[in-house]
Amino acid sequence: MKLIKIAVAVFVVGGFLTACGGGAENTDKAKFEAFLKLKRIPLNDEKRYQRMQKEYQQRALLTAAIVETKKLDQLQIDTEVEEFRKQLMISRYFETYLNEAVTEQGVQNFYNQNIDQYKTRKVHAAHILLRVNPRMGEPERQVLLTTASEAYSKINAGEKFEDVAKAVSNDKVSAAKGGDLGWINEGAISSEFSQKAFTMKTGEVSEPFLTAYGFHIIKVLEEPQEITKPLESVKGDIRYQLRNQSKQAETQRLLKPAK
């Protein structure tokens, strides 16, 4: 904010001293009205116009008087002003350029041409988990496998999967819901889990198998489905991506003659 305030003040006095001889009658009208536009003040608001004109002139005169005191490092101020000017020009240019370069139609076209990026496979599954950890010895793992096998046998014998999950699963969050994990994206849990879940039919229950998390028993509640994310849910990401690409390309184009 300090840089901006200094920059604006120096810009004002520079423009004002060039355009006027010291009185309101010589104020550069175009620059003053640009100043009003910056402040969002309507030109037809006569009272505010007159008040801001007086303040504008006073700031210019005050700044000129301060320059005359030579108490400030003029080179430092000029450097800060120049850096602010560069940043302002770059920012304003790309704001205008990108608004024209990346349109709603452009976003729609990118989505249509890259629709496979927005397709995912999901499966609605439940599981029973007997957790393992790296410190466990083989005897302990075998005990867990035996527990998992017994749970699988109970389900095959007619006990409800939900009841067995609540009784033995170490995943307490899903166990409270009968093992229900909801809809899972392919690969979201582990490759072993996906290989099982995404090849099973509705109602099918897997034998116990091992992942990095432990021994699982899976039940598929609804078969895998391919779901396409709607444009509205990814529009912001696409626009951000396209704007970045356009900005990089335009930056290189602008710099090429200089190089």
Residues 93 and 121 in one domain: no
Listing from the earlier edge strand, what are the strands of the sheet with 180-185? 180-185, 119-131, 214-228, 209-211
Residues 135 and 87 in one domain: no
- Is residue 25 domain-resident? yes
- Is residue 167 domain-resident? yes
- Is residue 10 domain-resident? yes
- Is residue 45 domain-resident? yes
Per residue in 85-122, pLDDT (tens digit) is 999 999 999 999 999 999 999 999 999 999 999 999 99
User: At which of 101, 125, 158 does a domain end?
Assistant: 101
**pLDDT surpasses 90 at 239:** yes
Computed over every residue of the chain, the mean pLDDT equals: 89
Residues 80 and 133 in one domain: no
- Is residue 129 domain-resident? yes
- Is residue 253 domain-resident? no
Residues 147 and 203 in one domain: yes
Residues 144 and 46 in one domain: no
Residues 76 and 128 in one domain: no
Residues 50 and 96 in one domain: yes
Three-class DSSP labels, the chain:
CHHHHHHHHHHHHHHHHHHCCCCHHHCCHHHHHHHHHHCCCCCCCHHHHHHHHHHHHHHHHHHHHHHHHCCCCHHHHHHHHHHHHHHHHHHHHHHHHHHHHCCHHHHHHHHHHCHHHHEEEEEEEEEEEEECCCCCCHHHHHHHHHHHHHHHHHHHCCCCHHHHHHHHCCCHHHHCCCCEEEEEECCCCCHHHHHHHCCCCCCCECCCEEECCEEEEEEEEEEEEEEECCHHHHHHHHHHHHHHHHHHHHHHHHHHHHC
Domain range for 135 = 117-228
Residues 23 and 96 in one domain: yes
Residues 123 and 222 in one domain: yes
Q: For residue 205, give the CATH number of its domain.
A: 3.10.50.40
pLDDT value at position 259? Answer: 62
- Is residue 33 domain-resident? yes
Per residue in 14-43, pLDDT (tens digit) is 444 444 444 444 458 888 989 999 999 998
Residues 7 and 54 in one domain: yes
- Is residue 256 domain-resident? no
Task: Tell me how many domains the chain contains.
Answer: 2
